Amino acid sequence: MAGRNPSVDATESNKQTTNGGNVNTNIIIETARKTIGGKISFPEVVGQLLTAGAEYYHVDYVGLKKTFYSADGDMVVTPISYEGLPPVVADFDVAALRADILDSQRNNQPYRDFTRRAMEAGTQGYFAFLRGQRVTYFGRQGDQHTEWFPGAGPGK
């Protein structure tokens, strides 16, 4: 079963930031809200998060939260506030995950649908490395798959 789903208000009042220095919390929170609302594309997310000072983020489908990190150790936590998400299945299905990713890239699939399908493919979470231009997805048994941003790759 997916983790407890904190409300936006509860998370907003309890949002975690550390070192308080080089990350624009307001841009990160607004970008997270637009993502959850299906109002922003992944390339726009990357641009806005880099502008806000985020270097990478972690999506936790079990805990239903995203944690954004700066190079200086600043951290912002936001909820994944979708109702009715499935549990993360036990087996990691890379083919299903890749089909999900491609549907998002080619057909602008809403993030809610991407999230549901990723969980159904056994994705427990992922790290999106913005400057490194890749996302590493992982399953409940430690399986992992790295997907490069479109146009990026080793040595590019």
Q: Which residues, at least 6 apart from 119, have a Cβ–Cβ distance to it below 8 Å?
A: 2, 61, 85, 86, 87, 88, 89
pTM: 0.83
* Residue 156 domain flag: no
- The enclosing domain of 142 has a CATH number of 3.30.1810.10
For residue 70, which phi and psi values (nearest 5 degrees)? -100, 170
Contact of 2 with 70, CB cutoff 8 Å: no
Distance CA 115, CA 65 (A): 12
| pLDDT value at residue 55 | 96
Q: How many separate domains does the chain show?
A: 1
For 67, the domain range is 8-148
* Residue 69 domain flag: yes
Contact of 119 with 85, CB cutoff 8 Å: yes
Q: Could you list the pLDDT tens digit for every one of the 156 residues in the chain?
A: 333 333 333 344 334 444 445 789 999 999 999 999 989 988 899 999 999 999 999 999 999 999 999 999 999 999 999 999 999 999 999 999 999 999 998 998 999 999 999 999 999 999 999 999 999 999 999 999 999 998 888 876
* Residue 3 domain flag: no
Contact of 80 with 6, CB cutoff 8 Å: no
| pLDDT value at residue 2 | 39
